[in-house]
Amino acid sequence: MLKLEQVQKRRNTFLLDNISIELPEGYIMGLIGENGAGKTTLLQILAGLLSADKGEIRLNGISLAEEEVAVKQEIGTVLHGDMFELRDTLLRNGNRYGRFYRHYEESSLKECMAEFGLDGRRKYGRLSKGEKLKFAMAFALSHKPKLLLLDEPAANFDKEFRTLFVKVLRDYVADGENTVILSTHLTSDIDMLADYLLFIKGGRQLLYGDIESVRERYRMAAGEEYKLKLLKDRIIHMENGEFGSRALVHNTGKSFDSTLKVWEPSIEELMYFMEKCPGI
């Protein structure tokens, strides 16, 4: 289980504040939020690149701050940018850094690369952005981590690979021992993959929980503006359109006016209305 307790991090003027989650093994968590919300900062903290100013991070009971090396052994990370040696081949890069991991196997890397259509003899610097992410993913999987951190990888994958990507992640968590944190701004990824959701806005945690329970907490309501306004403080954000109004509201269990159309919000709707609400 991955446990974050009131994790706080200040970087210049940005503050990532009070992030607390408990993510059981065997699940994929979608980390969503607009650009600059703090998704990458949180992933960098989890990857051990940055240290939290306050709070605690534990992976399977082991504290990242106290046992950095032991926890990092269990973490695979896929970040943007040039992670590996540009002038070295993929296989040499893999072996070079793989030796730091106890469970790294060259054969496993070769298998992953073959599955992802990568030639181990190619130089890392000659790969496209998407291929670099594929290699980072292959390397991360090759050392068999318990926690896989992915920073918006899917946006750079072609359609064909996206299908494979979904399958690979599903297989990876299937044994119930591994966990994935997938940072993304594509709600389609969340719909396809995520079991849990962490929504960050301006460095603050807005929502956390399994997707069903998160969606259950809210409702979308559409209808005439004055009828929606009667919902008063249940309204999170309301938008008026040409053919009526739509609002994201808290689901308190109370019934809605029968003339209103009410439905469970999609992740996209949740994100959109939450982002629009200035008070949150």
The binding site for another protein (CB under 8 A) comprises 11-12, 47-51, 60-62, 67-70, 72-73, 77, 81-88, 96-97, 99-102
Q: Give whichever of 99 and 217 is closer to another protein, judged by the CB atom.
A: 99
Cα 111 off chain centre by: 25
Q: How far apart are CA 39 and CA 12, in angstroms?
A: 16
Question: Shortest distance, CB of residue 115 to another protein, whole angstroms?
Answer: 22
Question: Shortest distance, CB of residue 100 to another protein, whole angstroms?
Answer: 4
Question: Shortest distance, CB of residue 2 to another protein, whole angstroms?
Answer: 16
Q: Give whichever of 100 and 263 is closer to another protein, judged by the CB atom.
A: 100
User: Residue 209: CB partners within 8 Å, gap ≥ 6?
Assistant: 196, 197, 217
Cα 237-193-210 angle, rounded to 5 deg: 55
User: Residue 215: CB partners within 8 Å, gap ≥ 6?
Assistant: 264, 265, 267, 270
Q: Give whichever of 9 and 246 is closer to another protein, judged by the CB atom.
A: 9
Question: Shortest distance, CB of residue 96 to another protein, whole angstroms?
Answer: 7
Question: Shortest distance, CB of residue 6 to another protein, whole angstroms?
Answer: 20
Q: Give whichever of 81 and 253 is closer to another protein, judged by the CB atom.
A: 81
Q: Give whichever of 77 and 205 is closer to another protein, judged by the CB atom.
A: 77
Alpha helices (runs of H) in 15-76, residue ranges in sequence order: 39-46, 68-73
Q: Is 224 helix (H, G, I), strand (E, B) or coil?
A: coil
**HSE, side-chain direction, 13 A CA sphere, residue 211:** 20
